[in-house]
Amino acid sequence: MDFIIIFQAGVATGTVLLFATIGELLTERSGVLNLGVEGMMLIGAMTGFSVTVATGNPWLGLLAAMLFAGLVSQIHALITITLHADQVVSGLALTFLGTGISLVLGEGLSKAGTVALLPSFSVPLLSQIPILGPVFFTRQSILVYIGYFLVPVTWYFINRTRPGLHLRAVGEYPAAADALGINVHGMRYLYVFIGGMLAGLAGATISLAVAPGWFSELTTAGQGWIAVGLVIFAQWDPVRAAVGSYAFGALRRLILDIQGPTVLFGFANPFYYNPYWGFFLQMLPYAFTVIVLVIGSREAIRKRLGSPAALGNTYIRGERGL
């Protein structure tokens, strides 16, 4: 077990969660809860892989994945923003729909074999830094590097720019934003779309870079739901979202690696000698999500932090309340 390798792989797999979490974070900041992340990720993974199989160009696959997932997310936008329906139920429907569509269109795709993947490379100079170099800058996919840029850009956008201010206003107090002349519905449509595109990107990151291929529902294995949980843990802050995503990525890798060696910290490795105990290790990411939610929710109460005030509420112009 080499911790450098675990963290290096953790950053790579964590990038999947990072994209999905940042996307959902932006959507929720505008006041819309989209529980369909898992479905949109599956759409992205399937589209990215099948377009790459068809065209041989993974960049086209990536683009198609983002567009198709973004398009599917607009169903949620239409139902919740224009038709005022319940966001939770609509999000669940989107999960079913996304899963179903990707399974139907992805039928037979698992036998497609190998395809051209997105490039991986090491960054000169930066990869020479001890510990950080091998973890963050050595033989990572280009998507991982894009992830590094996405975090500060999103933070700056939300907290230091005028459109970011508008985004926060729409999510916190849409009536006031509306009175200021901000197009509340238009903004929400836009951020649901951006969230959908990033979920699609997350899915394509799996099928074109991190774990190439199409394995039906197991491609995402519930990571869309973990992303929704990480948004709460991150308290709608992109930097905390990044920390959480990479930590979860590392945990997934640790679970794989811990079952390999015969000796662990000087003791006989129980997971090597009792292979069935591995199932308990498989539970860990999900158990950790619950723990992370407990921590995040408690901290939110203590610091009096909260979700965007209008999260989950339909905005109807001229009605009382939010």
Partner 1 sequence: MKPSQKEWISRLVDGLLPVFATLAALLVGAVMLLFLRVNPLQAYAALWEGAFGSSNALAETLVKATPLLLVALGICISFRGDVINIGGEGQMIVGALLAAWLGLTFTDWPGWVMIPAAMLAGFIGGAVWGGIPGFLKAYFNVNEILSTVMMNAIAVQLMNFLLRGPMIDPSQAELASKIPQTARLVEAFRLARLAPTRLHLGALIAVILAVLVYILLWRTTLGYRIRAVGQNPHASRYAGINVKRHIVMALLLSGAFAGLAGAVQVFGVNYRMITDGSASGFTGSAGFNGIVAALFGQLHPIWSIPASVLFGALLVGANSMQRAMQVPSALITALNGLVVVFVVSSEIWRQRRQRRRLASAPETESSPGSGAASPESAEEAV
Question: Where on the chain is the footprint of partner 1 (CB under 8 A)?
Answer: 35, 39, 75, 78-79, 83-86, 88-90, 92-101, 103-104, 107, 217-218, 222, 225-226, 228-229, 232, 276-277, 279-280, 282-283, 285-287, 289-290, 293-294, 297-298, 300-301
CB of 24 to partner 1, least distance (A): 12
Determine the Cα–Cα distance for residues 137 and 8; give it in Å rounded to an integer. Answer: 9
- CB closer to partner 1, 98 vs 238: 98
CB of 279 to partner 1, least distance (A): 4
Select from 145, 154, 149 the least CA-distant residue to 23: 154
- CB closer to partner 1, 4 vs 54: 54
CA distance between the termini of the chain: 52
- CB closer to partner 1, 58 vs 203: 203
Determine the Cα–Cα distance for residues 219 and 48; give it in Å rounded to an integer. Answer: 12
Token reading at 199? 């979920």
CB of 289 to partner 1, least distance (A): 5
- CB closer to partner 1, 87 vs 154: 87
Question: What values do phi and psi take at 268, rounded to 5?
Answer: -65, 130
CB of 17 to partner 1, least distance (A): 14
CB of 123 to partner 1, least distance (A): 35
- CB closer to partner 1, 84 vs 139: 84
CB of 147 to partner 1, least distance (A): 23
β-bridge partners, 268: 263
Determine the Cα–Cα distance for residues 243 and 24; give it in Å rounded to an integer. Answer: 16
Select from 158, 179, 162 the least CA-distant residue to 30: 158
Q: What single-letter amino acid sits at 123?
A: V
- Residues 139 and 121 sit within 8 Å (Cβ to Cβ): yes
- CB closer to partner 1, 97 vs 165: 97
Token reading at 279? 């199932």
CB neighbour list of residue 142: distance below 8 Å, 6 or more residues apart = 118, 119, 120, 121
Beta strand extents in 146-264 (DSSP E only): 263-264
CB of 271 to partner 1, least distance (A): 12
- Residues 109 and 214 sit within 8 Å (Cβ to Cβ): yes
Select from 318, 49, 40 the least CA-distant residue to 206: 49
- CB closer to partner 1, 161 vs 319: 319
